[in-house]
């Protein structure tokens, strides 16, 4: 492995990026500390100017370019956060920036990227396809490529996060770091080990896009045939080949997280910390429950908070359903006056709150024998949900839990 990521370079990057970044002080989490038996802190990079850590690597990389390289214009491909980082940094340096983004990129990320003065091109369904388009445009127009992760200067800029964490919490035991292509984790893990080899760095990937885990297992860069995850910022099929040696040397473990766990993590962050964190940033929050350690000081990096309102609404609804706080139950009852009132009385007695009713008279040929009533309810959680179902069973309604459609 080449020794290009040196302590001197990290110190230079740290001094450089402080010109454009917010000081994201660690946030102690009483809730997650009690849940996990550790002392849990969050590094809230969702509070950066551009809503994510990516500004660090982009700004440092552009600072290392020559005037000639900047004058040709910059181009990159990104699912959104690196796009905003490059756009913001390019504006600071007075450069033209062209950003290629997947067509599936949330609208908030597209609009914010444009707001910094960048030209946005939408191409492909995932990052890798957008990157191919960016390479073609760079070749055609002579633009200077700013790779979102497979660049050691970019990774060095991202590593400034580790410098801040260790300055603020020198006794940190574990740092949890999201992985997409690997730039953030390369920078953070390499600097952490340079400063204190005892710090354990855990990389966290979405289960539906675990390209780094596959590459580590194979011993070389692996390209996944496809990716499938709600964590759009880490939906990468191929990790950086320049980064893999650093990950192999400095990352102690990879944890993968299912999408369903990200949904619950979003709900927990909203309710307990009043913070909006995008799905990729929640990887390290969800991973806390997979840690087999106790009484350790753990820092979870919240890599970004750029989530559009429609996605947010959907995630909240699914989170409430997963937690048993919203559910739908189907009951059969005779089609005669007073039956609906009886069912409502049972639910009220059990302290359930009715959100929606659907009355289907055609579930049976004999309407006097049975009509179906679908009731969508609000409950305190899975235990309360089960209590309501039990009360309906006691009254002979034979309730069945069905898929909730809000």
pLDDT grade for 2, boundaries at 50, 70 and 90:
very low
With a CB cutoff of 8 Å and minimum separation 6, the contacts of 278 are 46, 52, 231, 232, 233, 303, 304, 305, 306, 307
Residue 235 Rama label (left phi>0; alpha psi -120 to 50; beta): beta
Residue 8 is inside which H or E element, if any? helix 7-17
Q: Which two tokens stand for residue 283?
A: 């990887």
Residue 215 phi/psi, 5-degree rounding, is -70, -40
Q: What is the pLDDT of residues 344-367, one digit of tens each?
A: 999 999 999 999 988 876 656 555
Q: What is the pLDDT of residues 235-260, one digit of tens each?
A: 889 999 999 999 999 999 999 999 99
With a CB cutoff of 8 Å and minimum separation 6, the contacts of 296 are 38, 39, 173, 174
Task: Examine the pLDDT at 313 and tell me if it is beyond 50.
Answer: yes
With a CB cutoff of 8 Å and minimum separation 6, the contacts of 333 are 339, 340, 342, 343, 370, 371, 373, 397
**Residues 268 and 285 sit within 8 Å (Cβ to Cβ):** yes
Which one has a higher pLDDT value, 295 or 1? 295
CATH number for the region 7-52+152-319 comes to 3.40.50.1100
Three-state secondary structure string covering 26-47: CEECHHHHHHHCCEEEEEEHHH
Q: Which two tokens stand for residue 339?
A: 């039956």
Residue 395 phi/psi, 5-degree rounding, is -90, 5
**Residues 333 and 343 sit within 8 Å (Cβ to Cβ):** yes
Could you tell me the pTM of the whole model?
0.88
Domain range summary for the chain, segments of one domain joined by +: 7-52+152-319, 55-145, 324-402
Could you report how far apart the first and last alpha carbons of the chain are, in Å? 53
- CA-angle at 227, arms to 289 and 180, nearest 5°: 60
Residue 257, strand partner residues = 206
Task: Examine the pLDDT at 96 and tell me if it is beyond 60.
Answer: yes
Question: What positions carry a catalytic annotation?
Answer: 54, 303
Strands ordered across the beta sheet of 400-402: 353-360, 371-378, 326-333, 400-402
Q: What average pLDDT does the segment 183-187 reach?
A: 97
Residue 255, strand partner residues = 204
pLDDT grade for 3, boundaries at 50, 70 and 90:
low
- Residue 207's SS3 state is helix
**What span, in angstroms and rounded, lies between the C-alpha atoms of 163 and 159?**
7
Three-state secondary structure string covering 372-386: EEEEEEECCCHHHHH
**Residues 391 and 349 sit within 8 Å (Cβ to Cβ):** yes
Q: What average pLDDT does the segment 217-241 reach?
A: 93
pLDDT grade for 406, boundaries at 50, 70 and 90:
low
CA nearest 223: which of 101, 125, 129, 139? Answer: 129
Domains 7-52+152-319 and 55-145 share a fold: yes
CATH number for the region 55-145 comes to 3.40.50.1100
- CA-angle at 288, arms to 284 and 293, nearest 5°: 135
**What span, in angstroms and rounded, lies between the C-alpha atoms of 108 and 81?**
11
Residue 73 Rama label (left phi>0; alpha psi -120 to 50; beta): left
Residue-level pLDDT at 108: 76
Residue-level pLDDT at 105: 81
Residue 75, strand partner residues = 98, 145
CATH number for the region 324-402 comes to 3.30.70.260
The neighbour count for residue 374, using CB atoms within 10 Å, is 17
């Amino acid at each position: 492995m080449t020794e290009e990521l040196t302590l001197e370079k990290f110190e230079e990057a740290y001094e450089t990026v402080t010109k454009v970044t917010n000081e994201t002080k660690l946030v102690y989490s009483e809730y997650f500390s009690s849940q996990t038996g550790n002392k849990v802190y969050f590094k809230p990079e969702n509070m950066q100017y551009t809503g994510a850590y990516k500004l660090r690597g982009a700004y440092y990389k552009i600072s290392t370019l020559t005037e000639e390289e900047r004058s040709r214009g910059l181009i990159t491909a990104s699912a959104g956060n690196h796009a905003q980082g490059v756009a913001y940094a390019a504006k600071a340096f007075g450069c033209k920036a062209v950003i290629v983004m997947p067509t599936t990129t949330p609208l908030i990320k597209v609009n914010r990227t444009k707001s910094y003065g960048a030209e946005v091109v939408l191409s492909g369904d995932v990052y890798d396809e957008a990157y191919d388009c960016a390479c073609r445009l760079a070749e055609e127009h002579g633009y200077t490529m700013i790779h979102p992760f497979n660049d050691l200067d970019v990774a060095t800029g991202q590593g400034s996060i580790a410098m801040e964490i260790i300055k603020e919490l020198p006794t940190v035991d574990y740092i949890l770091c999201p992985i997409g292509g690997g730039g953030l984790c390369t920078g953070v893990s390499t600097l952490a080990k340079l400063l204190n080899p005892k710090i354990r760095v855990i990389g966290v990937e979405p289960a539906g896009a675990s390209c780094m885990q596959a590459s580590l297992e194979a011993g070389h860069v692996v390209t996944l045939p496809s990716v499938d995850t709600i964590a759009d910022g880490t939906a990468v099929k191929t990790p950086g080949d320049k980064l893999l040696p650093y990950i192999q040397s400095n990352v102690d473990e990879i944890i993968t997280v299912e999408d369903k766990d990200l949904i619950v993590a979003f709900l927990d962050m909203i309710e307990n910390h009043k913070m909006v964190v995008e799905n990729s940033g929640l990887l390290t929050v969800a991973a806390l429950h997979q840690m087999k350690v106790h009484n350790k000081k753990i820092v979870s990096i919240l890599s970004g908070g750029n989530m559009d309102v429609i996605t947010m609404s959907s995630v909240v609804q699914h989170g409430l359903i997963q937690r048993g706080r919203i559910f739908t139950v189907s009951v059969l009852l005779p089609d005669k006056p007073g039956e609906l009132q009886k069912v409502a009385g049972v639910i009220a007695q059990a302290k359930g709150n009715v959100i929606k009713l659907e009355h289907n008279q055609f579930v049976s040929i004999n309407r006097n024998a049975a009509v179906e009533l679908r009731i969508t309810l609000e409950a305190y959680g899975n235990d309360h949900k089960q209590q309501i179902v039990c009360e309906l069973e006691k009254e002979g309604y034979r309730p069945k839990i069905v898929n909730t459609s809000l």
